[in-house]
């Protein structure tokens, strides 16, 4: 159910409360997904004219799971606070004193419901942590992570009993990795209206048994981070070591991700330096260049009254990967109707050169490359 | 281990549903009735006795709240003033729980309902309280069919468990077992009638009068039975003594007989049957020659065959003396004569 449909069907007095939930409702670590509303129903008789829905099911992402809580209002008494049914967690009974937005319910504040849900999530987190006591091994994992504030404050746990007959216990830890993504280049989205959300990296570690013999880690990146690092296949995290523990594994993954991010940031800066150097050396011959990602540069050069275009393509992992030079004619087309062009990759290059050196070398090596291009061109 | 259950009459349940159907929103209130605890003893082959407690919550009426959430706050704290006002005429003792009716929601207790239930138990000082939940939902999109579900909950060790609800009409629908207690009824007319006519049927102890008489008769019967058993036992013992005496006498008789047979020698051989020869002779003499009294055997050629007696009579005449003295030789000779007689017969025919 889309947010617009839900807002259309909800009782008008309750609409502001629901609006803040479906529009701005991001709770927990996985803030890329909004809270979702389904199963809108009414507590009024069928003779009551609509819209009069006052109860619905709220889907909340938590620790890799989706909690489905029933929220019950009363359309005839919209000032009353809501009531909750916590899905399958029938034993979850939060302490009312820890829910100030429930005790002092303000029906006129549109943020009341969202704040109350956040407080309930906090209580739910404590409830799940209490359930970890059923396994001493997993409790140790939790306690060790809790000692480090960079992990303990951004941690969600879902403890469940897989098989009620055998009593096999399982748990999932979801951690927000403390990696700085602020210097990553701005993410260019095709649809600028879509909010990519906060840049975040989440590590999910599933313990399929209480003794931690079957552990499955997985890394989740927000869209901008994933794009900046080169897609979902660009980063592979190591497998969880047998007999290892989270307090050793999580920093390892953090370091790996940090190195990758640093590499991408350095590549961006290197590209920018490269483009800047080319601009200074070939200033009058610059046709266009990528001013955001610094991945492309086009030059119009002339050699002995013969003009030609040079397209420079900088790869993502520049300077490790060599830029590609493409010579293109401004006079003639090929049989397929394209401008005649030739790609040049065999030119002197070293990733250890700075941008200025690369531009200088390119300036001096262009004629040789051009002569090679002309031979092919004339032929 | 206790087994709780809720009993509600069809009329009370129908009135609850009627109230909900005619309300524009959710409805809640208190349920009044009485709770009883019975000890049930079950004897089985595996163990000598199994005692379990049967808790029965009998819902007899309900009191609705005028407005939602008036009985408690947003955090579940019970408003005692409102509670007292609802329970006028000191009906506090008859409160056995509370109820709530919701539309289009699940048959599970909500967060606030659990809080309110615990607070209500403390406020009314009744650890045994039930929560009756009725939920209605639309089954068809055209609103032609609606479903009304009901269930009851009680708290056990900070957990809420679902307990069965039985709807009674004029009486209990159970067909098994004996009724040990009568169906509870708090109607004033019923109480008046019982007070007026009860003394005719009940003794001061509360039991039916016939029960005492039956017990006395049973005691008398037991006494007679014991008397009969004693008589049977005595007669059996007498029979046993007599049988012993008889067998002893037989034994002594046998011994005496054995000892008397041992004194006379030669009498040990069995006595052989002896023919009365004088009688035989006399009969033959009188009737032997009368052909009418003789039976004849015929051969295949229809010739009369002399009978053996006739031949024996002839041989007897010849060997009269030796036959009287020694029967064994006579037998032999008779056999030889018979053989000759056979030969003769052959020759004749």
pLDDT in tens, A258-270: 988 888 888 888 8
Predicted confidence at residue B99, as pLDDT, reads 95
Decide: A117 and A105 in contact? Cβ < 8 Å.
Answer: no
CB contact under 8 A, A80 and B115: no
Tell which of A81, A96, A117 to mutate to test the B interface (max B CBs under 10 Å). A96
Give the predicted TM-score (pTM) of the model: 0.67
pLDDT of B49 > 80? The answer is: no
When pLDDT is averaged across residues B200-218 and rounded to a whole number, the result is 81
- pLDDT tens-digit series, residues A41-52: 999 888 888 799
> For B76, which of A45, A55, A96 is closest by C-beta distance?
A96
pLDDT of A277 > 80? The answer is: yes
CB contact under 8 A, A55 and B143: no
Q: B100 falls in which pLDDT band (50, 70, 90)?
A: very high
**H/E run at residue A12:** none
When pLDDT is averaged across residues A222-233 and rounded to a whole number, the result is 75
The more confident residue out of A1 and A251 is A251
* List of residues 6+ apart from A143 with CB closer than 8 A: none
In chain A, residues with a C-beta closer than 8 Å to the C-beta of B103 are: 41-45
The more confident residue out of A250 and B270 is A250
Which of the residue ranges A139-143, A356-360, B202-206, B228-232 has the most confident prediction, judged by mean pLDDT? Answer: B228-232
Q: Where are the alpha helices (DSSP H) in A236-354?
A: 246-281
pLDDT of B327 > 60? The answer is: no
Whose CA is closest to B151, among B213, B95, B86, B102? Answer: B102
Could you give phi then psi for residue A32, rounded to 5 degrees? -75, -25
* List of residues 6+ apart from B200 with CB closer than 8 A: none
> For A93, which of B105, B108, B114 is closest by C-beta distance?
B114
Q: B345 falls in which pLDDT band (50, 70, 90)?
A: very low
In chain A, residues with a C-beta closer than 8 Å to the C-beta of B160 are: 90
pLDDT of B322 > 60? The answer is: no
In chain A, residues with a C-beta closer than 8 Å to the C-beta of B67 are: 77
In chain B, residues with a C-beta closer than 8 Å to the C-beta of A103 are: 74-75
When pLDDT is averaged across residues B46-66 and rounded to a whole number, the result is 82
- pLDDT tens-digit series, residues B237-265: 999 999 999 999 999 999 999 998 776 55
Predicted confidence at residue A374, as pLDDT, reads 58
- pLDDT tens-digit series, residues A84-141: 999 988 889 999 999 999 999 999 999 999 999 999 999 999 999 988 888 888 888 8
The more confident residue out of A154 and B50 is A154
The more confident residue out of B28 and B203 is B28
Whose CA is closest to A75, among A58, A52, A57, A56? Answer: A52
Distance from CA of B79 to the nearest CA of A (A): 15
- Alpha carbon distance B168, B223 (integer Å): 45
pLDDT of A73 > 80? The answer is: yes
When pLDDT is averaged across residues B96-104 and rounded to a whole number, the result is 93
Predicted confidence at residue B28, as pLDDT, reads 93
Decide: A374 and A306 in contact? Cβ < 8 Å.
Answer: yes
Tell which of A85, A101, A121 to mutate to test the B interface (max B CBs under 10 Å). A85
Query: How does the average pLDDT of chain A come out, rounded?
Result: 83
Predicted confidence at residue B241, as pLDDT, reads 95
The more confident residue out of A121 and A282 is A121
The more confident residue out of B44 and B193 is B193
> For B68, which of A80, A96, A105 is closest by C-beta distance?
A80
Decide: A173 and A246 in contact? Cβ < 8 Å.
Answer: yes
Predicted confidence at residue B185, as pLDDT, reads 67
B110 close to A (CB below 8 A): yes
- Alpha carbon distance B51, B29 (integer Å): 35
When pLDDT is averaged across residues B103-108 and rounded to a whole number, the result is 92
Decide: B29 and B99 in contact? Cβ < 8 Å.
Answer: yes
> For A81, which of B24, B74, B159 is closest by C-beta distance?
B74
The more confident residue out of B46 and A181 is A181
Q: Which two tokens stand for residue A214?
A: 């079957």
Residues of chain A whose C-beta is under 8 A from some C-beta in B?
A: 41-46, 48, 55, 70, 72, 74-77, 80-81, 83-86, 90-91, 93-94, 96-97, 99, 102-103, 105
Domain annotation for chain A: domains and CATH numbers: 1-131 (no CATH), 134-185+198-266 (no CATH), 283-376 (3.10.110)
In chain B, residues with a C-beta closer than 8 Å to the C-beta of A41 are: 103-105
Distance from CA of B58 to the nearest CA of A (A): 27
Query: How does the average pLDDT of chain B come out, rounded?
Result: 78
* Residues pairing with A311 in the sheet: A298, A326
Decide: A80 and B110 in contact? Cβ < 8 Å.
Answer: no
The more confident residue out of A308 and A361 is A308
Distance from CA of B137 to the nearest CA of A (A): 9
Least reliable range by pLDDT among A31-45, A243-257, B158-172, B326-340 = B326-340
When pLDDT is averaged across residues A8-12 and rounded to a whole number, the result is 91
Distance from CA of A321 to the nearest CA of B (A): 60
Decide: B32 and B38 in contact? Cβ < 8 Å.
Answer: no
When pLDDT is averaged across residues A240-250 and rounded to a whole number, the result is 88
Q: B226 falls in which pLDDT band (50, 70, 90)?
A: very high
Least reliable range by pLDDT among A176-180, A232-236, B14-18, B197-201 = A232-236
Q: A193 falls in which pLDDT band (50, 70, 90)?
A: very low
Whose CA is closest to B277, among B316, B220, B334? Answer: B316
- pLDDT tens-digit series, residues B138-190: 888 888 888 999 999 999 887 899 999 988 875 555 555 566 666 666 677 87
What percentage of chain B exceeds 70 in pLDDT? 73
The more confident residue out of B293 and A208 is A208
CB contact under 8 A, A93 and B69: no
The more confident residue out of B335 and A307 is A307
Q: Which two tokens stand for residue A279?
A: 């601009």
The more confident residue out of B75 and B304 is B75
* Chain pair A-B, CB pairs under 8 angstroms: 75
């Amino acid at each position: 159910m889309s947010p617009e449909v839900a807002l259309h069907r909800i009782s008008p007095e309750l609409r502001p409360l629901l609006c803040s939930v479906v529009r701005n409702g991001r709770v927990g670590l996985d803030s890329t997904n909004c809270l979702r509303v389904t199963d809108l129903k009414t507590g009024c008789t069928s003779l009551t004219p609509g819209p009069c829905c006052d109860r619905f099911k709220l889907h909340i992402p938590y620790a890799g799971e989706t909690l489905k809580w029933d929220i019950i209002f009363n359309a005839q008494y919209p000032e009353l606070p809501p009531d909750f049914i916590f899905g399958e967690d029938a034993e979850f009974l939060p302490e009312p004193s820890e829910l100030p937005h429930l005790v002092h319910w303000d029906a006129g504040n549109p943020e009341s419901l969202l704040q109350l849900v956040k407080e309930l999530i906090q209580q739910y987190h404590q409830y799940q942590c209490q359930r970890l006591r059923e396994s001493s091994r997993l409790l140790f994992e939790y306690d060790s992570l809790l000692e480090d504030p960079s992990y303990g404050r951004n941690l969600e746990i879902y403890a469940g009993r897989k098989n009620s007959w055998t009593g096999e216990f399982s748990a999932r830890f979801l951690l927000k990795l403390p990696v700085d993504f602020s210097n990553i280049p701005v993410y260019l989205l095709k649809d600028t209206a879509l909010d990519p959300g906060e840049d975040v990296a989440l590590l999910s570690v599933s313990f399929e048994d209480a003794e931690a013999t079957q552990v499955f880690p997985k890394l989740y990146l927000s869209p901008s981070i994933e794009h900046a690092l080169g897609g979902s296949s660009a980063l592979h995290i190591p497998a969880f070591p047998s007999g290892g523990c989270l307090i050793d594994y999580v920093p390892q993954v953090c370091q790996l991700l940090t190195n990758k991010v640093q590499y991408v940031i350095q590549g961006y800066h290197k590209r920018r330096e490269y483009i800047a150097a080319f601009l200074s050396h070939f200033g009058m011959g610059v046709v266009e260049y990528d001013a955001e990602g610094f991945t492309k540069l086009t030059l119009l050069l002339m050699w002995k009254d013969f003009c030609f275009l040079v397209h420079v393509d900088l790869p993502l992992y520049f300077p490790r990967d060599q830029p590609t030079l493409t010579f293109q004619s401004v006079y003639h087309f090929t049989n397929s109707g394209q401008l005649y062009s030739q790609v040049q990759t065999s030119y002197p290059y070293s990733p250890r050169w700075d941008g200025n050196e690369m531009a200088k070398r390119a300036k001096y090596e262009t004629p040789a490359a051009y002569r090679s291009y002309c031979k092919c061109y004339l032929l | 281990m206790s087994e709780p259950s809720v009993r509600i009459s069809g009329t009370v349940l129908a009135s609850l549903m009627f109230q909900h159907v005619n309300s524009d929103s959710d409805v809640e209130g208190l349920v009044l009735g009485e709770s009883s605890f019975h000890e049930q003893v079950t004897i089985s082959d595996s163990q000598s006795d199994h005692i379990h407690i049967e808790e029965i919550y009998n819902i007899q009426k309900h009191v609705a709240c005028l407005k939602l959430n008036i009985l408690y706050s947003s955090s579940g704290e019970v408003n005692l003033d409102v509670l007292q006002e609802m329970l006028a005429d000191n009906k506090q003792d008859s409160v056995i729980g509370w109820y709530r009716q919701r539309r289009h929601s699940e048959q599970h207790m909500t967060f606030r309902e659990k809080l309110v239930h615990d607070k209500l138990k403390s406020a009314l000082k009744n650890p045994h309280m039930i929560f009756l939940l009725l939920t209605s939902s639309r089954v068809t999109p055209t609103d032609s069919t609606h479903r009304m579900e009901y269930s009851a909950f009680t708290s056990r060790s900070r957990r809420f468990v679902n307990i069965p609800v039985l709807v009674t009409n004029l009486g209990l629908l159970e067909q098994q077992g004996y009724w040990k207690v009568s169906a509870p009824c708090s109607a004033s007319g019923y109480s008046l009638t019982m007070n007026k006519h009860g003394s005719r049927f009940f003794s001061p102890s509360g039991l039916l009068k016939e029960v005492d008489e039956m017990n006395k008769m049973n005691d008398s019967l037991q006494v007679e039975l014991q008397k009969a058993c004693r008589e049977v036992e005595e007669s059996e013992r007498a029979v046993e003594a007599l049988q012993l005496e008889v067998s002893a006498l037989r034994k002594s008789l046998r011994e005496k007989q054995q000892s008397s047979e041992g004194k006379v020698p030669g009498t040990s051989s069995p006595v052989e049957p002896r023919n009365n020869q004088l009688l035989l002779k006399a009969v033959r003499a009188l009737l032997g020659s009368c052909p009418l009294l003789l039976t004849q055997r015929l051969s295949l050629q229809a010739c009369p065959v002399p009978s053996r007696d006739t031949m024996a009579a002839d041989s007897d005449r010849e060997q009269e003396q030796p036959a009287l003295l020694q029967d064994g030789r006579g037998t032999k000779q008779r056999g030889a004569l018979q053989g000759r007689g056979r030969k003769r017969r052959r020759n004749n025919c």
